[in-house]
Structure 1
Amino acid sequence: MALIFDLDGTLLDTLASLANSFNRSLGTLGMPTHPVNDYRYFIGDGLRNCVIRCLGNAATEQNIERLTEIQQADYRQTWRDDAVPYPGIESLLDVLGQDNVPMAVLSNKPHQFVVQMMDYFFPNTRFHPVMGHRPGYAHKPDPTTALLIADELNIKPSQVAFVGDTRADIETAVNAGMHPVGVLWGFREFTELESAGATDIIGSPHELLSLDLPK
């Protein structure tokens, strides 16, 4: 058995961090900002989609490019701010590590940020591989990268549980033939995870240990 975790909304609470970065960037462009809670529904299926949602009716190609450039520059300086592991995550990872459970990360966040954040927030936990979005690869829910992770771990997809907080995560698991586990401490609600096809939906990290996961 192996586990693939999503990052934002699953391992790390980055809602305020991302919202503040996008709002600063929108302000730089003289455009309206959004309440932090709105970003629960902006985040999850890739940077470009988040930018388009932030811009709303102003989402011209020129504005998409401008906001993307400004926000990425801002985030390179501020990704540590207002980001923190969810309660119970670090102790869960300790237990899984002691049991030698293979663990990987797959995020739609740009790859360089995923690697930096995992090294910074979880320096004592082994995740391999750690994958963010890279040019030439489709975002989740496309299963390609999830299947590449299973191959790198030398394990069948059916023996992998994919743990995440959004429809994109659950559909990735379904598309890859993995066991989909939805989490309720992240950005989305039970109904979204259920309708996407989650086999299990948990309300706290340590509930993962009691699930009947693939062997």
Structure 2
Amino acid sequence: MIKLVIFDLDGTLLDTIYDLAHSCNYALELHHYPTHTIEAYRFFVGNGMNKLVERALPESDRNPATIAKVKRDFLLYYADHSTEFTRPYPGITELLETLQNKGIKLAVASNKIDSATKYLTKRFFPDIKFSTVLGQREDFPIKPDPSIVYEIMKNADTGKEETLYVGDSGVDVETALNAGVRLVSVLWGFRPKAELEAKGATLFVEEAREILNLLNK
């Protein structure tokens, strides 16, 4: 029986791609680098902020100093513009409310900066009492390392067989497999089904309510 559901944030609970893309493009323009389309950013995100900026930069400028400068301005801009276009995906709020009412513990595990993860989760889901909300923290491994999942399970006092992980990317698939927990991959997020299948995903949903149907079986 599932007692804990861990959700990825970007591309799973929230459609954040427009604010991420506009913020990164702002920082790139500030440093006189080419910008990218929204579609391109769907493949830049998922592995943490450093990797996002690295992927957005020209290959010849992907060095630690340049990444740090662009990342700094990206984060400064994003802090003031992270909710301009960001919204929960259809049915997500209702799903979380239903799961909470059923007594299932809820958590968020993201590779987004921890402060932004906590802020956006609270901003868009103020009535949901998540057991744990964790993002990327300094000196702590990011997904697909399973440490974040283990920490959440420990906080919730649940075992692997009682935990379901929900995500939209190949990183999420690897995270769940590395942690040894059950996985549901969503198809409304940033990455295509082919990527998820290539990483080992086998269970997919196209609408939020399908997750509830799976848990009811």
Question: Scaled by the length of structure 1, what TM-score is found?
Answer: 0.96
Which of 170, 188, 193 aligns to 2:191? It is 188
1:4 aligns with 2:6: yes
Structure 2 counterpart of 1:151:
154
- Residue 186 of structure 1 aligns to a residue whose secondary structure is coil
1:34 alignment partner AA? H
1:137 aligns with 2:140: yes
CA shift, 1:212, in A, is 5.4
Which of 9, 13, 16 aligns to 1:14? It is 16
Give a deviation string over 1:78-122, Cα, whole Å, max 9, x none: 111110000111111121111111000000001000111111110
Structure 1 counterpart of 2:170:
167
Percent sequence identity is: 37
1:31 alignment partner AA? Y
Q: C-alpha separation between the residues in 2 aligned to 1:203 and 1:180?
A: 14
CA shift, 1:60, in A, is 2.1
CA shift, 1:123, in A, is 0.2
1:61 aligns with 2:64: yes
Q: How many residues align?
A: 214
> Once structures 1 and 2 are overlaid, which stretch shifts more, 51-60 or 26-35?
51-60
Give a deviation string over 1:118-141, Cα, whole Å, max 9, x none: 111100111110000111111100
Q: Which runs of 5+ in 2 are unaligned?
A: none
2:212 alignment partner AA? L
Q: C-alpha separation between the residues in 2 aligned to 1:213 and 1:167?
A: 26
Which of 114, 118, 121 aligns to 1:115? It is 118
- Residue 77 of structure 1 aligns to a residue whose secondary structure is helix
1:33 aligns with 2:35: yes
Give a deviation string over 1:27-58, Cα, whole Å, max 9, x none: 11111000011000000011111011000312
Q: Which runs of 5+ in 1 are unaligned?
A: none
1:178 aligns with 2:189: no
Which of 49, 52, 56 aligns to 1:50? It is 52
Q: C-alpha separation between the residues in 1 aligned to 2:172 and 2:216?
A: 17
2:53 alignment partner AA? V
1:24 alignment partner AA? Y
Q: C-alpha separation between the residues in 2 aligned to 1:17 and 1:198?
A: 28
For the aligned residue pairs, the C-alpha RMSD in angstroms reads 1.3
Q: C-alpha separation between the residues in 1 aligned to 2:158 and 2:75?
A: 35
Structure 2 counterpart of 1:77:
80
Structure 1 counterpart of 2:101:
98
1:21 alignment partner AA? S
| Structure 1 contact 41–187 (Cα < 8 Å) conserved | yes
CA shift, 1:61, in A, is 2.0
Q: C-alpha separation between the residues in 2 aligned to 1:155 and 1:51?
A: 35
Q: C-alpha separation between the residues in 2 aligned to 1:170 and 1:97?
A: 24
2:133 alignment partner AA? V
The 4+ residue runs of structure 1 with deviation greater than 3 A are: none
Question: Scaled by the length of structure 2, what TM-score is found?
Answer: 0.95
Q: C-alpha separation between the residues in 1 aligned to 2:201 and 2:159?
A: 19
| Structure 1 contact 179–199 (Cα < 8 Å) conserved | no
